[in-house]
Structure 1
Amino acid sequence: GQYHATSKYEIEDMLSKVGLAQKMSSYAINLSGGQRRKLSVACAFIGNNKTVFLDEPSSGLDPSARRELWDFLKDMRHGRTILLT
């Protein structure tokens, strides 16, 4: 595989895209269930992966957060394969 050093900018950008920029210095254990779900989705896209597998990414999200997540996924699909289960 190829080694990719993740920059602080890349992490901040991804957290901003999923609505977690204000939680940058928080531990995952202190996030709500929906915020943890967003964090796991954001982590899947770090490193510009060409193929991303997501298992029920909107499970446990309220309707507003679910819509935001699906909009994020639509934005991130360009140049990638996203497999949803």
Structure 2
Amino acid sequence: MNKTELIDAMAADAGITKAAAKKALESFLGNVEGTLKKGDRVSLVGFGSWSVSRRSAREGRNPQTGATIKIAAKNVVKFKAGAELSSAVN
């Protein structure tokens, strides 16, 4: 399912226009992004939670040449599925 299909499904399920569903989805995504940028955690009980973790700098290897390269430190987003979502999938 891509973003357009999700918007269509949300509009059909909620009985709202596609424009309203798109606005709601973009608001949700924007708020999740903003919260994660601040370093906070987003948790939806039963669905899952998003958090930001710091990945430290490390050395790696270029697979073509075998040369050692430095990989910079960065923040990564992690998602952990909630119990209800996990059980629904399995």
Question: Which one has a larger percent helix, Structure 1 or Structure 2?
Answer: 1
Which TM bucket (shorter chain)?
Answer: under 0.3
Q: When the two structures are superposed, what TM-score results if normalisation uses the length of structure 1?
A: 0.24
Which structure dedicates a bigger proportion of its chain to strand? 2
The higher relative CO (CA closer than 8 Å, separation ≥ 6) is in 1
